[in-house]
Amino acid sequence: MIGLRFTLHQSVAYDDDWLDSPLTRDIHFDDPDRLVSSRFPSPTDAQKQQPVMVLVHGFSASTFEFDAFKKAMSEKAPSILYSSVIMGGHGRDYQAFKAASYSDWVAPIRDEVEKLTAMGYERIILFGVSTGATGLLHLILDDQLALGSIAHVLLMDAYVTPKDASLFFVPIIQYVVKNTRSGATRSIETRHWHVNRPTSALVELLRLVKLVQRQLTNLSGYDGPPMTLFTAKHDPTADTRGSDLVFSNVEGARVVRYDSDRHVIIESQAKLDWTDRDQGHFDAVLNHVLMTVVPPKK
């Protein structure tokens, strides 16, 4: 839901119940239990053996993106624990979003993985969608994560190659266009995604995209955890060439493609005109993730 519009500067405007407002936060922002490290600060031996999924949302988004996924997964595998990371600068207000760098975005991911590893959790699964997937790639390829306890990396519609090439014009227009808007109008969108897109945030997004592209093309070898990429063949936001770039350079990476035009299919609540076909893709991805996180006993 990046929705870039660069033709004209658009003034910053929001209502009190929008995520851009100082009065509205990510729905899980004040919940200490959203992170496994704070929910179980002294885990038992049994808890350390439970799978922990570290969930990372996308650019301008919130932890809401994973709510439907967590609910459906919990019904099938209640033993899975979830750490819902809020990327730095996100889920607060417009000013925090505007001021944050891409390094700020990924810092909470690194912090949570470090804490879980230090606590002795033995099976950590990283799952990032869109720019959250891009941030995970950066941290892994930059050796910023302790990989010993990471059992698998799941990436959905990784924002490595933007579908909208106008993002690459941001450095040219940033001194004239200070803010753009996503065009979101429904309350479900405005409460859970930043509608205003400060150009400074788009600059940081472009920096992260270019960095990960360089990291992938310069990668001489990969000895990290197994990696699976879920890719909608007709994704309107993330070009599937990004997943191809990962697949070509990360040894052993797998790509699961499905014939959909939805970006981040597991976030079903905010999709307009949700169809049985969409639900089929949702269920197929869910089952694939389930088999990865909780492999069947031999």
Tokens of 249: 């350079």
> How many domains in the chain?
1
**CA 4-197-229 angle, 5° bins:** 60
What pLDDT does residue 298 have? 57
Residue-wise DSSP of the chain: ------SS-------TTSTTSTT---TTTT-GGGSHHHH-SS--HHHHTS-EEEEE--TT--GGGGHHHHHHHHHH-TT-EEEEEPPTT-SS-HHHHHH--HHHHHHHHHHHHHHHHHHT-S-EEEEEETHHHHHHHHHHHTT-S--TTEEEEEEES-TTSBSSGGGGGHHHHTTT--EEE----SHHHHTTS-SEEEHHHHHHHHHHHHHHHHHHHT-----SS-EEEEEETT-SSB-THHHHHHHHHSTT-EEEEES---SSTT--TT-TT--HHHHHHHHHHHHHHHHHHSPPP-
Structural domain range at position 231: 32-293
What pLDDT does residue 3 have? 47
What pLDDT does residue 209 have? 97
Domain presence at residue 10: no
Note the pLDDT tens digit of each residue in 187-203.
999 999 999 999 999 99
Domain presence at residue 63: yes
Domain presence at residue 259: yes
Domain presence at residue 148: yes
Look up residue 11 and give its amino acid. Answer: S
Domain presence at residue 201: yes
CATH of the domain at 66: 3.40.50.1820
**CA 294-291-55 angle, 5° bins:** 70
Domain presence at residue 36: yes
Closest CA to 136 of 40, 215, 39, 43: 215
Q: What is the pLDDT along the chain (298 residues), one digit of tens a residue?
A: 444 444 567 889 999 999 999 999 999 999 989 999 999 999 999 999 999 999 999 999 999 999 999 999 999 999 999 999 999 999 999 999 999 999 999 999 999 999 999 999 999 999 999 999 999 999 999 999 988 899 999 999 999 999 988 888 888 888 788 899 988 889 999 999 999 999 999 999 999 999 999 999 999 989 899 999 999 999 999 999 999 999 999 999 999 999 999 999 999 988 889 999 999 999 999 999 999 998 766 5
Domain presence at residue 22: no
Domain presence at residue 11: no
Distance CA 98, CA 199 (A): 8
Distance CA 117, CA 119 (A): 5
What pLDDT does residue 8 have? 62
What pLDDT does residue 174 have? 81
